[in-house]
C-alpha cells in the first residue's frame, strides 16, 4: 500500500500513521518528496488488513493498493491458457472456436428441437436456452422451470449438443446441474456471491457474465469465488455494459477479449445478442469478437423471433444464424482458430 | 404501444404488421404522418404480449410502450403515502424523520453495543449492522453470520432500537427475519429476484437498495416483486449509482427523493455513507437529503473507523454522528418533519 | 510518482527504469515489497515530465501520480473562500445566498422584461438569458445574438439586476463581455480551452459549467485555464452529469458542493434546471443545494414555458419561481446564509 | 410527435392540449387506449416547433418524437456510401482500407520524418500529428502550433502521405486548412458547433470524433452542422466513450461501425489508441475494427513512446506498427476490402 500524507503535517501526526501501519502488520517505509511525504507499507495486502480506512484520518490524503486483489484467476497464478472440456468433446479455450446458440427462453419442445437441429447443422456445438428467466418485471414470462430443463436434456440427447442454461437460485443448483453441462450466471447475479459459491460447488463448468456496471477487477474477483471453491472450470462472458447510449441496449466492450487474455488464464466468451439488444448488429459484432481472439460466442437464435416469449428483438432467425456461421469462417481462420 | 413504420413501406408490408398486432391481441389504429406511418396498438400492455419483437421486422423503425410497467408500487395504485410501523413504535414514511445508524459490519459485542447506545442517545431509532457481508473479494471479511444476528438482537433488547440488517441468501431468509425488524436487500442483489421474493415472504419490512446501474423504472419494478408477493412494507433506499466519477465511490442521486415521492407511495431512505464512500461528505449529503424530503437516513457509524473490518473510509465516529444529528435539526424542521 | 514493477523482473530491467526516471529529472527511491518492487520518483510532478509513458515498458505494471495537478484553483493555494463582487453590489461566495434566474433563451423584449421584473421581485439579483445558444441540431433556434445581448442590457438598466449569459465563440468574447456581468461557459464547451482563455482575458467573472462527463479533477483543471490567464473571478457550476438514467435529463451531482468547498476556494453554483431537465424536480433540488451549502443557484424561468423557444420542459413559471423563493427561505437560514 | 395523456384527464384538459398542438402547426389525431389517451401530432417535426414543452403541462405524461432529427447525414438522404478523395489519391470510404498513423504530437523534424517514412513503408497513406493540442491541464505541452503544421507539410512533401491534424480554434481554421488535407475535430470539441461550422467552411474534409459522452444521435446531428454548411466530406471517428471502467482510458464502442453504416452514408474511422489508452490493446482493437467493416484506422505511432511529449502510454513503436500492418492483412481481406 502507498499512503500519501497531506502537505504540512506535523511529526506527531506522521508518527501516528506509522504506528497504525505497524499495528496492522505492515512495515512502513518513508519517502520525503518535494511537496508531500509518501509512506510505502510493506507486507502482503491479501493476508493483512486493508489500510484504506486511513483515508478517514485528517492527515492522510490517499491510500493506494499495489497488489492485484485476484489470485487464482490471474495469469500470474497460471501462465498457460486454461481449457474446459465438456462431455460431448467440445473444448472451450483451445484451438477450436466454439459457438453456443439457441433461444433466449425454452418455450416448448418444437421450438427448442427445431432450433437445436438447425444450430447444430450450422456448426454450433453447445445449445443455449433459458429455463429460469430473471425478468425485470414480475408480470413477464419467468421460464418453464424444470420442464424447460427436461426439454434441454431431450435436445441434448437427440443432437449431441452440450447444454448451457442459467442458474437463478441457490436452491436450484443441484437440479440445474443435473441437466446442464455449463451453468450460466447472469449479469444481474454477477455479484450474487452465494449463487456463485453454490454454482461452483456443483462441479459443473461456470460461465460468469459481466455485471451491467462491473469493473474488470470486480469481474475477476467474482470469478475468484468460483476458483476458490474448488471449481477450476470458469469462463468469463462479456455481454455489454450499461452506458449513457440508448441506441443499443448495452455497450459491448470487445476490449475485454485482449484484457481477459492478458490478466487471466480463463476462456473469454462474447454474447453479442445481449450486447447489442438488436439482431441487426449481431453479425458484425461476432466478426469483431472472432477477429479479436474470443474463445467462443453465445448467440440467441429463434425460429420466429417476432413471436418469442422474451427478448425477440435480439434473436437471429435460423437462416440468419446459418448465414452468420458461413460469414464468420474467414475471420476465425484469420485469427488462427479452427 | 406505438409502432413507427419506416418510410416508403409497401401496403403489403404494412398489412403484415397490422395482422401481427391483431394476432397478439391488440387493436391497431393507423395514423398517416408527413414522413412516416404510425400505428397505435390499443390493449392492455401489462396483460398482452409485448410488441417489441416487431423491431426485428425490416419494415418497423421503432416500438414504444405507452403504459408504465409498474403497478403496485405506483402512486396511481395508492395515492396516499404508505407508512411502515416497527415493533418499537418507529414509523417510516410519516411525519417523523427517521435515522438508522450503526456499523457497516457487526464485529463484536463491545463494538456493537457501544455504537448502539451512542446512536440511540444521539436520536437514532433503528440500529444498522451487517452480519452477512457481500464482499467483492472472497478473501475479505464475510461477516459474523448468525453470531452477528444474535448480537444485534441483544443490542435491540438493551436499547430499544429496532434492527435492520442485510439478507444475502434465500436460505437465510427465515433466520434473518427472526432477528431483524427490517430486511435490507443490497445494491448487488437489487435484481436478484429470488432473494426479493424470499424476503417478501418472511413478512418483514424490506428496504430495497438501488442497484449500481439501475434505472428508476427497474427499481420500481424490482419493488413490484415485493408487493406482488403480499408484502406491503417496502421502502426504497438510494445509495449512489456508478458513474465515471472517481472522486466519490458512487454518485448519490438525490433527485430520487422527489422522483420516488412522485411515482410511488413507498417511503424513500437515503444512504449517504455508501453514496459518497467518504465520511467527510456524509454530513452535507444528510442535510441535502433531509431538505429534499427523504423519509429516513441510513448512516454508517463506528467507534473507531480506522480499525473497522470493512468500509472504514465511509463510517462516522460516534462524536461525528452526534454532531450530525444536531446540525441536521434545522433542516428537518425546515422540511416540515419532526 | 509511484512506479510499480511487475513481479520477477531482472536487475537489468529494473536498472533501465531507474535510469529513465533519473533522465526525466526525478530522484528514484526503491522499496522492495513482498510481491513487487515499488519505486518512488521524487521531484515536482508539475514541472517535470510525466512518467506515465513508463506504462508502455514491459517491466512496469503501473504509474501513479502523487501530486494534485491543479494549483491556482486549489484550497492549498488559497485557504480562504474567494468572493466575486459584481457592479450591482451582488457578492457571490459570501454570506448571502445568491439566485440567478431568467429564461433559457432571450426571445424578445416583452418576454425578457416581464421575466426580469418578476424574478427581481421574488428576490433574484442576477438575470440569466441565452443570446447565443448551442443547439444539438443546426435546425433548432440558435439565439438572437447581439440583439439578445442588447435586450439583456436593457433589462439590467431597468431592473438593476446583473446579467449572466453564455459565451459560445472566441470571436464573440469582447462583444459579450461588453454587455454581460458574468460570462457563462456551457457544459459542451467546458474543455474548449481556447474559449476559456478568451473568456478569462476579457476580465469578466467566469461561470464554468461542468462538462457532461467531466471528472472533478478535470473541472478544476479547466478552471485553472481561467486563473492562469490572470482572471481571479471564477465560479464553478454543477449542472448534472450524463449517466445511464433516462428519467431525468442529467444526474445532478449535489456532492460537488462539499467537494468543491473542500478542494477549491472558488464559489459553487447549482443549476437544477439543466440538472433535472424537468420543472417538477427543480424546487426539491434547490432546497437540497441550499441545505448543502451552495453559494448560488442558476434557475430557468419563463412567462410561458410551454411556448418557450428552447428547453420548455425545464423552465419554471413566474409564479412557480416566486413560490420557490419563499419555500427556499428556511433552508437558506438553516444553512447559515442570508 | 406522440403525446400521452395521464389517466383520468377531463375533457377540458384534453381540449387544451389539442388546441396547443394545432396552434403549433400540427394536426392532432386522438387514440383512446385502455388506460390512457394518446394523441398523434401530425406534421413535419423538423420544420414545426417541438412539442416537448407539453411535458410541463400537468395533464401530459410524455411526448415522444417520431422523426429522426438528422437529415443530410442520414442514409435516407443518400443511400449510397459516400467517399472522400484526397489530393494524394487516397479514397476514404471505398474498397480500400485506409490507415492514418503518426505521433500524438508533432515534437520536431526528426521525430516526425522518421515516423512518416516508417508508417508509409508499412502501408499507411495518411500521416497524423497534433500541432495544436487540447490538454486537460494548462501546464502540459500545448503543441508546436504553426511550426508543427509546417513540419507536417514538409513530411507530406517528402513522403506523399496526406496529412490530418486537429483544429482547436475557429481563429486557426484558415491556417490549419492551408497545411492539412483533413481537419480533425477532437472529442472535447465535438459539440463546439462554432468550430464545426468554421471547419466546414474551409472546404477541407472533416473528421469528427465522437464526444466522450455523446449519443449516436447527437454525433450524427453534430455532423449535420458540417453538411449543412456546404461541406460534403465528413467522416465519423469513434475513439471510445467514457464509462465507469478504469482499466482502459475509454471504452471503444465498436458497434458504432455497423450503426454508422446503417444510419449514415459517411465513412467511419476507428481510433484504437485513444479508445484504449494502452498500446498493448491496440492490435486486437484494430483487428476487430477491420473485421467489422471500418473504413479506416487512426493509430498513434512514435519512435520512442516512453519519451513522447503527450500520451506516451498509448502510442505504438515503429516496429510495433509494422507488425500491426502485417497482422491486419488477413482481417482486411476477410472483410472484403483491399
On chain A, the residues whose CB falls within 8 A of the CB of C32 are 42
| Of B12, B36, B64, the domain-final residue | B64
B42 vs B328, which has greater pLDDT? Answer: B328
Neighbours of B244 (CB within 10 A): 24
Angle at B289 between CA B287 and CA B291, to 5 degrees: 70
> What confidence tens digit (pLDDT) does each residue in A37-48 have?
889 888 877 666
pLDDT digits (tens, 9 = 90+) for C160-191: 999 999 999 999 999 999 999 999 999 999 99
Verify that C102 and C230 share a domain, yes or no. Answer: yes
Q: Is the pLDDT of residue D260 over 90?
A: yes
pLDDT tens-digit readout, C241-265:
999 999 999 999 999 999 999 999 9
Residue C31: pLDDT over 90? no
Q: Are residues C113 and C50 in the same domain?
A: no
Q: Provide the whole-model pTM.
A: 0.94
Question: Is the minimum CB–CB distance between D52 and chain A shorter than 8 Å?
Answer: no
Q: Is C74 contained in some domain?
A: no
Boundaries of domain holding A56: 2-64
Percent of chain C with pLDDT over 70: 99
* Domain presence at residue C70: no
CATH of the domain at C56: 3.30.70.1140
Is A253 in Cβ contact with D251 (below 8 Å)?
Answer: yes
Q: Provide the CATH number for the domain around residue D175.
A: 3.20.20.70
pLDDT in tens, A173-222: 999 999 999 999 999 999 999 999 999 999 999 999 999 999 999 999 99
> Do B240 and B153 fall within a single domain?
yes
* CB–CB contacts below 8 A, A to D: 121
**Residue B266 in 3-state DSSP?**
coil
Starting at the edge strand that comes first in sequence, how are the strands of the sheet with C2-5 ordered?
A: C27-32, C37-42, C2-5, C60-64
> Does D220 reside within a domain?
yes
- Write out the DSSP string of A25-66: T-EEEEEE-SS-EEEEEES-TTTSPP-GGGGGSTTEEEEE--
Last residue within a domain, chosen from D64, D95, D118? D64
The verdict on D132 and D274 lying in the same domain is yes
Pairwise CA distance, residues A210 & A202, whole Å? 21
Mean pLDDT of B289-294: 98
Chain D neighbors of A295, CB-CB under 8 A: none
**A190 shares a domain with A300:** yes
Mutate: best of B4, B31, B36, B67, partner D, most D CBs <10 A:
B31
Reported confidence tier of residue B115, pLDDT bands at 50, 70, 90: very high
**DSSP H or E run through B27:** strand B27-32
What whole-number percentage of chain C has pLDDT above 90?
A: 72
pLDDT tens per residue, range B31-77: 887 778 889 888 877 666 677 778 778 888 888 887 788 899 999 88
Chain D environment of A216 (Cβ under 8 Å): 245, 247
Let me know if residue C79 belongs to a domain.
no
pLDDT-derived band at D36 (thresholds 50, 70, 90) equals confident
D318-334 and D279-291 helices, crossing angle to 10° = 20
Q: What percent of chain A has pLDDT over 90?
A: 72
> Lowest-pLDDT range, B57-71, C41-55, C127-141?
C41-55
Structural domains counted in chain D: 2
Enter the C-alpha cell of residue C133. Answer: 445558444
Dmax of chain C from CA atoms? Answer: 77
At A103, is the pLDDT very low, low, confident or very high (cuts 50, 70, 90)? very high
Q: Is the pLDDT of residue C208 over 90?
A: yes
**Residue A248 near residue D255, CB atoms below 8 Å:** yes
Q: What are the tens digits of pLDDT across the range C151-160?
A: 999 999 999 9
A80 touches chain C (CB under 8 A): no
Q: Which residues of A touch C4 (CB under 8 A)?
A: 66
Confidence (pLDDT) at D305 = 85
Handedness of CA B181, B187, B189, B192 (dihedral sign): positive
- The SS3 assignment for A109 reads helix
Tell whether the model's pLDDT for residue B199 goes beyond 90.
Answer: yes
Question: To which H or E segment does residue B85 belong?
Answer: strand B84-85
For B263, the grid coordinates are 411515482
Residue A125 confidence (pLDDT): 98
Does residue D303 have a pLDDT over 90? Answer: yes
Least confident of C131-140, C237-246, D88-97, D227-236: C131-140
Q: Is the same domain home to B20 and B157? A: no
Reference C185, options B247, D195, C173; nearest CA is: C173
- Closest Cα to residue B215, out of C282, A245, C243, C214? C243
Last residue of a domain, one of B31, B64, B97: B64
Pairs of CB atoms within 8 A across B/D? 54
Query: Which pLDDT does position C47 carry in this prediction?
Result: 65
Give the pLDDT mean for C210-235.
97
- Report pLDDT for A46: 66
* pLDDT average, residue stretch A136-146: 90
Q: Are D44 and D132 in the same domain?
A: no
**The predicted structure's pLDDT at residue C167:** 98
Of the listed ranges A150-154, A310-314, B72-76, C138-142, the least confidently predicted one is: A310-314
DSSP one-letter string for B45-65: TTTSPP-GGGGGSTTEEEEE-
Question: What pLDDT score does D47 carry?
Answer: 65
B56 and B90, same domain (yes or no): no
Instruction: Look up residue A59 and give its three cell numbers.
Output: 492527515
Query: Which band of pLDDT confidence, cut at 50, 70 and 90, is reported for residue D2?
Result: confident
**pLDDT score for D46:** 66
B 11-50: CB under 8 A from A: 20, 46, 49-50
Residue to test with chain B: of C259, C276, C284, most B Cβ within 10 A: C284
| Residue B176: inside a domain | yes
Distance from CA of B265 to the nearest CA of C (A): 17
How many angstroms separate the CA of residue C241 from the nearest CA in chain A? 10
Q: Does A100 touch chain D (CB under 8 A)?
A: no
Task: Tell me if D43 and B31 make a contact (CB, 8 A cut-off).
Answer: no
State the pLDDT confidence band at C48, using cuts at 50, 70 and 90.
low
Tally the C-alpha atoms within 13 A of residue B130's C-alpha that lie toward its C-beta.
22
Residue D71 lies in a domain: no
Contact B249, B240 (CB under 8 A): yes
Do C104 and C79 form a contact (C-beta atoms < 8 A)?
Answer: no
Q: Do C64 and A2 touch (CB under 8 A)?
A: yes
**How confident is the model over D40-56, as a mean pLDDT?**
76
From chain A, pick out residues whose CB is under 8 angstroms from the CB of D258: 280-281, 283-285
Answer yes or no: is pLDDT of D53 > 70: yes
Q: Note whether residue D238 is domain-resident.
A: yes
**Average pLDDT over every residue of D35-46:** 81
Tell me the sheet residues that pair with C241. Answer: C251
Q: In whole angstroms, what is the distance from residue A123 CA to residue A117 CA?
A: 10
**Among D residues 242-271, those touching chain B with beta carbons less than 8 Å apart:** 242-244, 246
Quick one: B319 and B290 in the same domain? Answer: yes
Give the least confident one: C153-157, D115-119, D181-185, D272-276.
Answer: D272-276
Beta bridge partners of C208: C185, C236
Mean pLDDT, rounded, of chain C: 93
How far apart CA C74 and CA C71 sit, in angstroms, is 5
What pLDDT is stored for residue A116 in this prediction?
Answer: 98
| CB-CB under 8 Å, D254 with A215 | no
Do residues A142 and A35 both lie within one domain? no
Measured distance CA(A263)–CA(B236) in Å, rounded: 38
- C289·B287 Cβ contact <8 A: no
pLDDT of B236-274, one tens digit each? Answer: 999 999 999 999 999 999 999 999 999 999 999 999 999
> Same domain, yes or no, for D60 and D111?
no
Alpha-carbon distance of D299 to D325, in angstroms, equals 11
Domain membership of residue A72 (yes or no) is no
Other chains touching B, judged by 3 or more CB pairs under 8 Å: A, C, D
Give the separation between CA A2 and CA A59, rounded to whole angstroms.
14
Residue D65 clears pLDDT 90, i.e. is over it: no
> Scanning every residue of chain C, which has its alpha carbon at the shortest distance from the alpha carbon of D315?
C56
Same domain, D213 and D293: yes
Amino acid at each position: 500500500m502507498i499512503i500519501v500524507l497531506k502537505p504540512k503535517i506535523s511529526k506527531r501526526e506522521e508518527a501516528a500513521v506509522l504506528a497504525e501501519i505497524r499495528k496492522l502488520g505492515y512495515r512502513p517505509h518513508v519517502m520525503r518528496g518535494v511537496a508531500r511525504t509518501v509512506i510505502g507499507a510493506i507486507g502482503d495486502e491479501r493476508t493483512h488488513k486493508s489500510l484504506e480506512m486511513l483515508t478517514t484520518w485528517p492527515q492522510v490524503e490517499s491510500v493506494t493498493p499495489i497488489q492485484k486483489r485476484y489470485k487464482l484467476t490471474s495469469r500470474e497464478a497460471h501462465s498457460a491458457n486454461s481449457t474446459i472440456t465438456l462431455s460431448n468433446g467440445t473444448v472451450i479455450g483451445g484451438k477450436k472456436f466454439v459457438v453456443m446458440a439457441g433461444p433466449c427462453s425454452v418455450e416448448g419442445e418444437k421450438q427448442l428441437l427445431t432450433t437445436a437441429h438447425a444450430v447444430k447443422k450450422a456448426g454450433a456445438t453447445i445449445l443455449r436456452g433459458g429455463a429460469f428467466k430473471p425478468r425485470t418485471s414480475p408480470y413477464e414470462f419467468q421460464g418453464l422451470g424444470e420442464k424447460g430443463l427436461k426439454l434441454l436434456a431431450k435436445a441434448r440427447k437427440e443432437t449431441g449438443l452440450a447444454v448451457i442454461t442459467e442458474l437463478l437460485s441457490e436452491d436450484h443448483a443441484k437440479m440445474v446441474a443435473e441437466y446442464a453441462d455449463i451453468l450460466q450466471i447472469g449479469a444481474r447475479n454477477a455479484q450474487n456471491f452465494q449463487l456463485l459459491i453454490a454454482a461452483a460447488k456443483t462441479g459443473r463448468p461456470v460461465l460468469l457474465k459481466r455485471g451491467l456496471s462491473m469493473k474488470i477487477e470486480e469481474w475477476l474477483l467474482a470469478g475468484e469465488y468460483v476458483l476458490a471453491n474448488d471449481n477450476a472450470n470458469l469462463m468469463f462472458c462479456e455481454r455489454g455494459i450499461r452506458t449513457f447510449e440508448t441506441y443499443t441496449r448495452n455497450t459491448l466492450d470487445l476490449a475485454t477479449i485482449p484484457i481477459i487474455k492478458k490478466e487471466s488464464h480463463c476462456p473469454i466468451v462474447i454474447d453479442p445478442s445481449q450486447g447489442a439488444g438488436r439482431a441487426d448488429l449481431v453479425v458484425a459484432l461476432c466478426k469483431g469478437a472472432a477477429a479479436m481472439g474470443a474463445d467462443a460466442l453465445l448467440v440467441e437464435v429463434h425460429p420466429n423471433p417476432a413471436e418469442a416469449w422474451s427478448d425477440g428483438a435480439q434473436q437471429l432467425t435460423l437462416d440468419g444464424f446459418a448465414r452468420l456461421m458461413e460469414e464468420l469462417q474467414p475471420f476465425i481462420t484469420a485469427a488462427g482458430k479452427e
